[in-house]
Structure 1
Amino acid sequence: MPELPEVESLAGFLREHAVGHVVARVDVLAISALKTYDPPITSLGGLTVTGVGRYGKFIDVDVDGLHLVMHLARAGWLRWREEMPVKPARPGGKNPLALRVHLDNGSGFDLTEAGTKKGLAVYVVRDPEEVPGVATLGPDPLAGAFTKETLAGIVGGRRTQIKGLLRDQKVIAGIGNAYSDEVLHVARMSPFKISSSLTEEEIEGLYEAIVGTLRDAVERARGVAAQDLKGEKKSGLRVHGRAGQPCPVCGDTVREVSFADSSLQYCPTCQTGGKPLADRRMSRLLK
């Protein structure tokens, strides 16, 4: 799933390549991806792209005051084209096309989504706050207003595992499965640690890990072409997706805990005092 750093890079790419161009037309191939009907998506035609922003994992394309807001979900992606195909787009294929945006200079972008679980969502609204997922977002961890005190207020009193808290978009915006693993590895913290149990020192370390990890990832992704972002993300990860490989810090073997529809990776030496976590749903640290 694209997370804050990749979405920020995609937004920056569109900012550089799409702003100033007129939307020639929009083709919708997966009607299930379109979550709004007023204004109609056809109303974007003839309007100019004036800006591109990001809200958590949402991309916001400002088109003369109307907002094309996109969430790529688990298996969605944005593919930029310098020259759009002449032939009309057709549904189907390995990465089925959900939406195609044509610009006045012949360029544009596709939204595709692989797999059978469809979660990609597209909205056309007058204000991004009209999108339910945007309206309920927690603070952005790269915003100036996100401070150590902000994080302390978030974790205090929450008897929930820190891994789940970091992934909750209503609590902190933009962090998903991959970067929560990375943040916790940098912070040397068990993914199952209870949020309310964090000491002041641990909160400070977690704050620095959140901001530092995300800023580093954003910087690495800066200027990377959209089609290369997935590979860049994977190459920069320390523990996520690297079960069975040596930890880059201590050399211990990175381990995994699997759940019904996801998994997490961690280093026992760096994060759990050398003790492995039981690999089963609702796992607890082995005694």
Structure 2
Amino acid sequence: MPELPEVEALRGFLVEHAVGRRVERVYPVAVHALKTYEPAVTAFEGRTFDGVERYGKFLGLRAGELYLVMHLARAGWVRWSEKLAAGPPRPGKGPLALRVRLTEPADTGFDVTEAGTQKRLAVHVVRDPREVPGVARLGPDPFDESFTLAVFSALLEGERRQIKGVLRDQGVIAGIGNAYSDEILHAARMSPFKLAARLGGEEVAGLYEALGTTLREAVERSRGLPLKELKAEKKSGLRVHGRKGEPCPVCGDTIREVSFSDSALQYCPTCQTGGKPLADRRMSRLLK
């Protein structure tokens, strides 16, 4: 799933390639991906993109008073093309959900796609991004100057959930998902199951530092890369997430996994749990 660093890289790419370009045609191929119907997505035709914004894991392209806001979900992506096919795309079982054809030069533009069978891609056309429910409920963005250690500490006060779940909650902090929460906790040398409210002052400060450093480094690794390379770059840059059975790059211990119904987390026992493996079941606790 694209998280803050990948969506930020997408934003930067589209600022460079789409801003200042006029929209010739918009083809809504997968109607189920459209979550709004008025204004229609075709209302962008003839308009010029004048900005691209990111709201957590949401991406918004602005053309005047209209915003094309997308949430790429687990398997969505944006694919840029210098030579789109001449004719309109045909609806079918393929991954294509939306095509935007731009002018000057002709036949350039981008496709919004979604692989797999779980169709969760969401496309909204709104006059205010806060009309999108997922955007309206977002917590502070880690890259906002107002996201200070004091603000972060206040978010964790009284929070009785495990820190892994808190970091992933978009209503608490915007943009962090399953992969980067694993990476942040590994960098902070913290168990994913530690209760947020029980963190001491030094632990909160260390976690805050790890959060900022991990996300900034991920964005820098992605800066300037073609869109087709961003997914591979994300995977290659991860230290623990998705690396079950591999050696930890810090201490050499074997990276372990806890599986849930629709996701999994990875961690290093030596770096994060005092050498004790976590039971691989829902509501797990440290094995005695």
Q: Same fold (TM over 0.5)?
A: yes
Task: Tell me the distance in 1 between the aligned counterparts of 2:90 and 2:209.
Answer: 46
Q: Which residue of 2 is the match for residue 84 of structure 1?
A: 84
* 2:138 paired with 1:137: yes
Letter in 2 for 1:264: L
Q: Which residue of 2 is the match for residue 52 of structure 1?
A: 52
Deviation above 4 Å: which 4+ runs of structure 1? none
Q: Which residue of 2 is the match for residue 246 of structure 1?
A: 247
Once the 2 structures are TM-superposed, how far is the Cα of residue 242 of structure 1 from its aligned partner?
A: 0.4
Once the 2 structures are TM-superposed, how far is the Cα of residue 91 of structure 1 from its aligned partner?
A: 3.1
Report the identity percentage: 67
* 2:205 paired with 1:204: yes
* 2:81 paired with 1:74: no
Task: Tell me the distance in 2 between the aligned counterparts of 1:125 and 1:31.
Answer: 17
Letter in 2 for 1:74: R
Q: Which residue of 1 is the match for residue 265 of structure 2?
A: 264
Unpaired segments of 5 or more residues in structure 1? none
Task: Tell me the distance in 2 between the aligned counterparts of 1:110 and 1:58.
Answer: 16
User: What's the secondary structure of 2:87's corresponding residue?
Assistant: coil
Once the 2 structures are TM-superposed, how far is the Cα of residue 90 of structure 1 from its aligned partner?
A: 2.2
Task: Tell me the distance in 1 between the aligned counterparts of 2:213 and 2:136.
Answer: 26
Once the 2 structures are TM-superposed, how far is the Cα of residue 161 of structure 1 from its aligned partner?
A: 0.4
Comparing 160-169 with 102-111, greater Cα deviation is found at 102-111
User: What's the secondary structure of 1:49's corresponding residue?
Assistant: coil
Is contact 1:217-1:236 (8 Å) kept? yes
Task: Tell me the distance in 2 between the aligned counterparts of 1:36 and 1:88.
Answer: 22
For these two proteins, the number of residue pairs brought into alignment is: 286
Q: Which residue of 2 is the match for residue 237 of structure 1?
A: 238
Q: Which residue of 2 is the match for residue 102 of structure 1?
A: 101
Is contact 1:21-1:49 (8 Å) kept? yes
Q: Which residue of 2 is the match for residue 218 of structure 1?
A: 219
Letter in 1 for 2:102: L
Letter in 2 for 1:15: V
Unpaired segments of 5 or more residues in structure 2? none
Task: Tell me the distance in 1 between the aligned counterparts of 2:48 and 2:64.
Answer: 6
Letter in 2 for 1:103: L
Task: Tell me the distance in 2 between the aligned counterparts of 1:171 and 1:83.
Answer: 41
Once the 2 structures are TM-superposed, how far is the Cα of residue 253 of structure 1 from its aligned partner?
A: 0.3
**What does 1:103-118 correspond to in 2, within 5 Å?**
103-104=102-103, 105=105, 106-118=107-119
User: What's the secondary structure of 1:123's corresponding residue?
Assistant: strand
Q: Which residue of 1 is the match for residue 28 of structure 2?
A: 28
Letter in 1 for 2:233: E
Letter in 2 for 1:78: V
Is contact 1:20-1:48 (8 Å) kept? yes
Is contact 1:137-1:171 (8 Å) kept? yes
**What does 1:146-225 correspond to in 2, within 5 Å?**
146-225=147-226
RMSD between aligned residues = 0.8
User: What's the secondary structure of 1:129's corresponding residue?
Assistant: helix
Letter in 1 for 2:218: A
TM-score, length of structure 1 as denominator length: 0.98
User: What's the secondary structure of 2:50's corresponding residue?
Assistant: strand
Letter in 2 for 1:45: E
Task: Tell me the distance in 2 between the aligned counterparts of 1:87 and 1:269.
Answer: 57
Once the 2 structures are TM-superposed, how far is the Cα of residue 86 of structure 1 from its aligned partner?
A: 1.0
Task: Tell me the distance in 1 between the aligned counterparts of 2:90 and 2:189.
Answer: 48
Letter in 1 for 2:266: Q
Task: Tell me the distance in 2 between the aligned counterparts of 1:5 and 1:30.
Answer: 26
Letter in 2 for 1:100: R
TM-score, length of structure 2 as denominator length: 0.98
Comparing 78-87 with 255-264, greater Cα deviation is found at 78-87
